[in-house]
Structure 1
Amino acid sequence: MDEETPTDKPAEKEKKKKPPPVMESAKVEAAATLGHQRSQLNLGLRLEGGRGVPKDDAKAAEWYAKSAEQGDHLAQYNLALMYNAGRGVSKDPAKAAELLMHNMLPSAQFCLAGMYRRGVDGTLEPDDSRAVELYRNAAEQGHVRALCNLGFLYQNGKGAPKDEAGAADCYAKAAAQGHVKAKSNLGFMYLHGLGVDREEGKAADLFEQAAAEGDRRSMFFLGLMHDFGRGKNQNYPKAIEYYEKAEELGHERAKEFKADLTRKDDLETAMQECPPEPPEKIEEAKADLLEWKEKHEEKNPFL
């Protein structure tokens, strides 16, 4: 599972007259050297981001570690991300998990939940029930990705009893906050009537919102809806357009369905180009097109 860069890092305070960045960083470093916990964190942030000082992940990790030792949760979280990715330190997911274990930041709980989903060799056994607990805690603190992932676990009965209505509720709340994957997942629920009444038009609206933000899965579903006339009027050119967009983003099934519709266009063109004679050629082209329609209908996911 991909982890996001945290958004809960402390913001820089605006000042009417800011000293030059290097001078400001020098003051921060002086305070950090004297053991000031927040300055150690801030210096780590500056070194990691290359703000006012040359970017240096290894030194950033050192200062995060000093602040983390004094109990700073954000420093612990940032250091855990570095250990998990092997950035500035040797890759050590077990150390990352240790740093996150008692961290109450929602981003930390979200990250730890992902570790419980996968498991960490020698440290954590896969435990979906623990992941549910952590995602729920993070979601209650406003972490929108945790809310979406919680919905996924409810939908699939992982770590908690299967609860499609609860999943749809999680997706709806996350979608209302603009979460793209939640919009796509909620669209899927409406498309198939899972935990909500089946509303193909509403599903199409949600897929269109997510597709407009680059979600390839939503593009694929819009292709299917135009292809087979579900929630949209049947429109093969529009279906091909959505399949192409999804394919460009690496969706393999979209590639397959686009090729199928392209084959249909080729067959229709061949039939139109057949001369009046011999008539068996026209019949052969008609038979090929009929065979295509039968095989394509077998792929209809809405049956």
Structure 2
Amino acid sequence: KYPMKTLLIIGLVLILTGSLVQAGDLEDGRAAYERNDYTTAMKLWEPLAKQGDARAQYALGVLYDNGQGVGQNFKEAMKWFRKAAEQGDADAQFSLGVMYAEGQGVRQDLKEAVKWYRRAAEQGYALAQYNLGVMYANGQGVRQGKQEAVKWYRKAAEQGVTLAQYNLGVIYNNGQGVQQDKKEAVKWFRKAAEQGYASAQYNLGVMYDNG
């Protein structure tokens, strides 16, 4: 009755959190980035990245991916995302998944996308959980599995990802991979609606109108 939203979230943004090695230069680089001084950010982060700092490697990947302070270069972005991802950095793992899913800087490979989304998702990375749910729902790079899609959508939804909340509403309303449950559908539509998601607001109104 209601279409699920299956668009992959592909925006790559700079997120520097968690345990920081050589935090001074890394934080100074972030401050430069936030004031749009990308050249200074690059100068501060590149030495750290070459020394093996995963957060700096991820940040360098973002600069190359976005063409900030340097010419846009997806292959270089991939190189730095991979270095950070292999050290367990969830932001980089998610970003690497996006690059494989979109075929940016590398031949499109949905199985590799699933692999990296899963690694980030298992660390609790909400957008990776959502994208992994999309991959299972559509059978992209993995055998289609509605129950697995529900599992990952739920994890993302519980962290506030609007599209995951909306998709759960659709799934429970239609009984896809789960037993049909209108109350659960209303619950998840409401959560998405309260975040301003228009489709969820409309669907919630329809469900109330229909009793």
Look up the match of 2:193: 211
Aligned length: 199
Q: How far apart in 2 are the matches of 1:217 and 1:3?
A: 25
Which stretches in structure 1 are left out of the alignment for 5+ residues? Answer: 12-35, 236-303
- Compare relative contact order (CA 8 Å, sep 6+) and give the higher one, 1 or 2: 2
Instruction: Give the CA deviation at 1:3.
Output: 2.6
Which stretches in structure 2 are left out of the alignment for 5+ residues? Answer: 1-9
Q: How far apart in 1 are the matches of 2:89 and 2:202?
A: 36
Which of structures 1 and 2 has the bigger CA Rg?
1
Summarize the alignment of residues 1-303 of structure 1 with structure 2, pairs less than 5 Å apart.
1-6=10-15, 8=17, 37-50=22-35, 56-103=37-84, 104-120=88-104, 123-223=105-205, 226=206, 231-234=207-210
Instruction: Give the CA deviation at 1:49.
Output: 2.6
Q: How far apart in 2 are the matches of 1:109 and 1:161?
A: 21
Contact 1:9–1:74 (CA under 8 A) maintained in structure 2: no
Contact 2:64–2:71 (CA under 8 A) maintained in structure 1: yes
Q: TM-score, normalised by structure 2?
A: 0.86
Instruction: Give the CA deviation at 1:179.
Output: 2.2
Which amino acid counterpart does residue 45 of structure 2 have in structure 1? Y
Which amino acid counterpart does residue 209 of structure 2 have in structure 1? N
Partner-residue secondary structure (3-state), 2:83: coil
Look up the match of 2:5: none
Q: How far apart in 2 are the matches of 1:9 and 1:61?
A: 20
Overall identity of the aligned pairs, in %: 33
User: In 2 relative to 1, CA 234–137 (structure 1 residues): closer, same or farther, beyond 3 Å?
Assistant: same
> 1:76-120: CA deviations, max 9, x gaps?
111111111111211111110111113220011001100100002
Instruction: Give the CA deviation at 1:7.
Output: 5.2
Q: How far apart in 1 are the matches of 2:13 and 2:204?
A: 27
Contact 1:110–1:134 (CA under 8 A) maintained in structure 2: yes
Which amino acid counterpart does residue 208 of structure 2 have in structure 1? K
